[in-house]
Structure 1
């Protein structure tokens, strides 16, 4: 029993520095490698944006997949009743066996290599989030590894949320301004960010201009660099 406890504890204690979005992304990519997943997307339900809306915290989905599947499709997945909590048996989802998805949503998943998915409900610092792990081949993800992955996700997310609380006093940005800088820092164009957030390109430019002004920066690159150094994104 002692050997088992040591095996489980080691990976959890090895991931102490999950304090920025970049570290969170690396952390989740590492979990993908551990369980055999190709992709992940970490989201929170977004009540302020209306029903069937989510806020993306971190993701390695390609932009076309996000465009084709959409926020509503992700919301349908996490509201399907097929999500699992800590200690619950993982349930595999496939586009063919997900009648709660539209034909377009199912086709979008298959086209972009999300053939098998597992959705886990996370709780950290009193906040609920959901992570979707997916693979392009059925049976590639190891269900037995998902239990430990679930624990690690909760642990890493708790570290991230706690660190964000610590940074809050030094964070002058609104949620939307922060999101815009994050997506631009990951190489998205203004039009792509507008599509992700469901607003116009002019609105995105306005958010970014506000962020630049708040940081006293000269341009987008300087604002992004300041946000990264401050741990804001």
Structure 2
């Protein structure tokens, strides 16, 4: 995955609504883009995240791998400057959210900034709002989230947050420290993938049976196997999972 200085420079400047955080001239923007590209080439994910966090008007970042949060511990955190106790606390929140969300809901939240409140008992850095922002995105088959803390008097722009999430995805691909490779390849068979493809095309089991030249019961067995392997409960969820993971 590559990105050029010209492509980044052509995008509109992220803006922060609320407290004024300064202007950015064309020359300053070119310098920032050059720094981002340099960080990417050197694999400096933390430096790139710090730069992007400051650019959007936030104060602290946490890049997390969502599927690891459900296992407990703090190994879901890929790169972060949040206080350790806060990382551990947010891990439990992410694990609970991951367990309650189905595949379709997870798809619909991609690149959609969500603002949530940290628990009252959570100890925050001085001057930081108890509200935080979470933006989900995918790198290959791996679902990641960028979580941002920000000052109490700052309102973050949703458009800018989406742009920062996209750039974070780029750096997560480029930086070796991100470790975003999936734990294992999806083990769906070719027949199961064919069934998912035709379901996504709107075909019924009877229609798929005619297309593939096998019985309706066999088609239903394949579909049941797909839902079991993908931990989904309905055909729609199985399709959403397959789309999000680039299987169809």
Q: TM-score of the superposition, structure 1-length normalised?
A: 0.49
Please tell me whether Structure 1 or Structure 2 has the larger radius of gyration of its CA atoms: 2
Q: TM-score of the superposition, structure 2-length normalised?
A: 0.47
